[in-house]
Structure 1
Amino acid sequence: MKYPAVLNFDEILPQLDQFDTIIDARSESEFALDHLPGAINCPVLNDEERILVGTTYKQVNAFEAKKIGAPLVARNIAHHIETLWQDKPRDWKPLVYCWRGGNRSGSMAHILAKVGWPVVQLDGGYKAYRAYVAAALENPAPVPFRVICGTTGSGKSRLLETLAGIGAQVLDLERLAAHRGSVLGNLPDEPQPSQKRFESLIWDTLRKFDMSKPVFVESESKKVGNLRVPDAVMAMMRSSPCVSLMLSRANRVRLLIEDYDHFMKDPALLNAQLDHLVQLHGREKIGAWHELANTGRMAELVDQLLVDHYDPAYLRSIDRNFLRFGDAQVLEMSDIGKDDFIKAAHTLHGA
C-alpha cells in the first residue's frame, strides 16, 4: 500500500482499535467538542493560529493566508515529531484526521509518510466520522438491554458500576454524561461533555459489546442533565425487559447522603439547586427545605425530598415509559454495603 493511505471511515472502522496512535490535527477547541475514540490532540494550527490564517484568507486572499499558515504548520508538525514520536519504530502506524480531511491532516500525513511511517489519513475527516456516528445512532442494531429500574436512591448507579466490575456489559449513561440525572445531579468540578461527545461515547461503548449477551442500563429519562439520549437508543431501552431494584427508604436516605456528600457539606450549593423546584412545590416548601439544609438536618431533608418529589415523579413515569416494567424481575436489597451490591450483581449477571 502506498502511504499516506487515504481511507474512508467504513474502511477504517474494522481496524480502528489497531492503530498505534490516532492523531487529531484540529485545534484544541475543536478537539474538546468531540473527537474519535482514543484520539490525542496534536494541532497543526492551534486556536489562535487558525483564527489568524482564517481571517487573512477572508480579508486578503488564499495565497497570503497560505504564506502565513505554512511556516506555522511546519513548526507545529516538527514540534509534535520531536516531542512525541521521535522514538517510534518504522512500523508505528498512526491514523491522522482533521475537520474534513484536507490540508491540516494532509500536511501531517505527508510528512509522517516521508519519514517512513505507514500513516493513514481519514478521508472526509471528523465530519465523515460524525456522519457515521449520527447514522449509526439513528438506526442502531438491536441491543439486548436489561433496564435497571428503581426509585431515587435505590442504588441503580452503584449496581451498574458493580456489574461492570464483575465483567458484565454496561451502558452507564450518567457516567458518560457526567451527571446523575436529577435536579441535584450535576457533578462538582466536572462539566458535562458536548452533545456530540456524549453521542460518540455512547456509540463507542455499544460497538464493543457482544450483542448475544445482555447490556445493563439504567432507566433514564430522555435527558441526562443537559444532554439528550438518542431517540432510537431510548426507544430500545423503553421496550426492553426490566429489573426492579428494591431498597428500604431508610437505606435510600443513607445511600443518597453518601453519594451526594458534596451537597451535604455545602448547604448553600444544595439550596441553589433546590430553588429549581420552586415552580413544582412553591416557595413555602422550598423555604422549609432550605431551613433543614441550613441547620444540618440532612437525613430529614432527603427523606422529605423522596416522599414529596422523587417517588411521586418515579411512580408517575415508570409504567408509562418502560413498557415491560409490569413484568420486571424484582431484586430486593437488604443493605447498601459493597458485598450487598456484589451479590445483587452476580444475581443479575448469572441470570
Structure 2
Amino acid sequence: MVKRLDIQDFLTAAGPILDVRSPGEYEQGHIPGAISLPLFTNDERAQVGTCYKQQGRDAAVELGFDLVGPKLGAIVRQGKAIAPDHRLRIHCWRGGMRSGSVAWCLETAGLQVATLEGGYKAFRRWARQVFSTPRQIIVLGGMTGTGKTQILHALAQLGEQVLDLEGLANHRGSSYGSLDMPPQPSTEQFENLIGDRLAHLDPARPVWIEAESKRVGTCRVPPELFDQMEAAPTLEVVRPLEERLDILVEIYGQTDRQGLIDATQRIRKRLGGQRTQAAVDCLHRGELREVCKIVLDYYDRTYRYDLERRNQVIPQLDIAGHDPTAAAQLLIEKAPFLLSTNGAR
C-alpha cells in the first residue's frame, strides 16, 4: 500500500526522491537531491492543461491516460534502476494524480513507495518555515578581497556551522561574481538549497553567514532570512590593501580577459569613464593587479556607504598575515563575546 507522508516524514524517509512533474517545473525549482522522472513532457503538460480548461476534468484525465499509457513500462524500469532496494519517494506539484498514478504503477511492479502529502507546494511551505526559524547568526563582513569566502570554508572545516550563500548561488556577489562559476539557479531553487542547508543545522548553535545584499547575482535572499541577518551581530575582518590585491589576483588570475573587460564595463557608470578605461587598458596589458586596485576604490566606497547606512559600530578583527584557517580560529574565539553582547541589547 502506498504511504502518504507529511513533509517532515517524507524528507527523512528511505529511498531516492522522484519528481514526476514536467522538466520545466523541475528546472524552475525542485527538492535538492530529487531525480527528475517526468510523467509528462512540457508540451504534454500544456496539452492536458488546455484540455482541462476547454473540455473539463474528465476529458483531461482521459487525455492524460492516453499520453502516459505507452510510458508505463519505461517508468517501471527507470524506477527499479534508480532504487535497487525497491524503496522510493515520489512527489508532484500538489500531491495529486501525477504522483498517485506513478506510485500505483511502481507499487504494482513490486516497489515500496511513499508519496508527499501536498506535493512540492508542501515543501515550499516547509522551506519558508525553515527561513523563519530564529537562529544565532553571526554575519562575517569585510571589504572585497579580504577572503571572507575562504574563511567561511575554513570555519566549516573547523566544525562551525556555515551557510555559504555565494556558494549556493554560484556567484561571488559583484559585477565579476559570475566569472568562472556555473550558471546560477533560479531564485526558487536558491531558496530550496538554503532551506535544505538550514534544516541540517542546529538552531541552538551559531551559524556564520557572509554579509550580502538582498541579491546574490540574480538570486534573491529569502526575506525571512535576510531580516535575521540584518539584526544579527556583524564582525568585520580587515586586511592591508596589498594582501587584498594578492587574494583577488589569485582568484581572477586565470579568468578569461574578455570576461573581465565585460564585467568592468558593467560598472562604468559607478566607476567613472576615465577609471573604467584605465582598468580596461590595464587588462589589455595583462596588469590584473592594477585593475584590482582601480576597481577596489569603487567597491570600498560602496562598502563604507553601506556601513554608514546601518548607523552602527561594527567590531573589526585585524587578520593581516593570517591564512583562512588562522583567521577562522580568531573568529571562533571572538564569537561568544559577540553573541553575548548582541543578546544584551
Matched with 2:108 is 114
CA–CA distance in structure 2, aligned partners of residues 210 and 161 of structure 1: 18
Asked if 1:274 corresponds to 2:264, the answer is: yes
* Letter of the structure 2 residue corresponding to residue 192 of structure 1: Q
1:137-189 CA-to-partner distances (Å, cap 9, x unmatched) read 3xx12111111111100000111112222322111011111110011111446
Q: RMSD across aligned C-alpha pairs, in angstroms? A: 2.4
Give the distance between the partners of 2:80 and 2:10, measured in 1 at CA.
21
In the aligned structure 1, how far is the partner of 2:189 from the partner of 2:239?
34
Shift of 1:250: 0.9
Structure 2-normalised TM-score?
0.88
Q: Contact between 1:239 and 1:322, CA under 8 Å: does it hold in 2?
A: no
1:263-342 equivalent positions in 2, closer than 5 A: 263=255, 265-266=256-257, 268-306=258-296, 308-321=297-310, 323=312, 325-326=313-314, 328=315, 330-335=317-322, 340-342=323-325
Change in CA separation of 1:142 and 1:347 when aligned onto 2, cut-off 3 Å: same
* Percent identity for Structure 1 against Structure 2: 35
Q: Could you tell which deviates more after superposition, 19-28 or 268-277?
A: 268-277
Partner residue in 2 for 1:16: 11
Q: Are the counterparts in 2 of residues 177 and 224 from structure 1 also a CA contact under 8 Å?
A: yes
1:170 paired to 2:162: yes
Q: For 2:165 and 2:96, how far apart are their aligned partners in 1?
A: 34
Using the alignment, how far apart are the partners of 1:96 and 1:288 within structure 2? 56
Partner of 1:93: 87
Q: Does structure 2 retain, via aligned residues, the 8 Å contact 1:188–1:262?
A: no
State the distance in 2 between where 1:192 and 1:159 align: 22
Cα deviation for residue 44 of structure 1 reads 0.9
Q: What CA deviation, in whole Å up to 9, does each residue of 1:176-207 have, x standing for no partner?
A: 11110011111446221111111111111111
Q: Is 1:76 equivalent to 2:83 in the alignment? A: no
In the other structure, the counterpart of 2:33 is 38
Q: 1:223 to 1:291 in 2, by over 3 A?
A: same
Letter in 2 for 1:130: R
- Give the Cα separation in 2 of the matches to 1:77 and 1:189: 39
Relative distance call for 1:86 and 1:244 in structure 2 (3 A) is closer
Counterpart-to-counterpart distance in 1, 2:15 and 2:232: 38
Matches within 5 A, 1:172-191: 172-188=164-180, 190-191=182-183
Q: What residue number does 2:197 align with?
A: 205
Find the residue that maps to 2:272 and give its secondary structure.
Answer: helix
Q: Indicate yes or no: 2:135 matched with 1:152.
A: no
Question: CA separation of 1:165/1:72 partners in 2, compared to 1, >3 Å: closer, same or farther?
Answer: farther
- Report the Cα offset of residue 241 of structure 1: 2.2
How far residue 19 of structure 1 moved from its aligned partner, in angstroms, is 2.5
Give the Cα–Cα distance (whole angstroms) in 1 for the partners of residues 22 and 167 of structure 2.
26
- Residue 5 (structure 1) aligned to one of 3, 13, 25: 3
Q: How far apart are 1:318 and its partner, in Å?
A: 2.4
Other structure's SS at 2:267 match: helix
- Once residues 330 and 203 of structure 1 are traced to their aligned partners in structure 2, the CA distance between those partners, rounded to angstroms, is 30
Residues 1:169 and 1:75: Cα distance change in structure 2 (over 3 Å): farther
* Gapped regions of structure 1 (runs ≥ 5): none
Please, which of 303, 307, 330 is the counterpart of residue 347 of structure 1? 330
3-state SS in 2 of match to 1:183: coil
- Determine helix, strand or coil for the equivalent of 2:115: strand
Q: Which residue of 1 aligns with 2:337?
A: none
Letter of the 1:72 counterpart: L
Matching residue of 2:42: 47
Tell me how far apart the structure 2 counterparts of residues 87 and 32 of structure 1 sit (CA, whole Å): 20
* Paired AA for residue 3 in structure 2: A
Q: Which aligned pairs between 1:238-257 and structure 2 lie closer than 5 A? A: 238-257=230-249
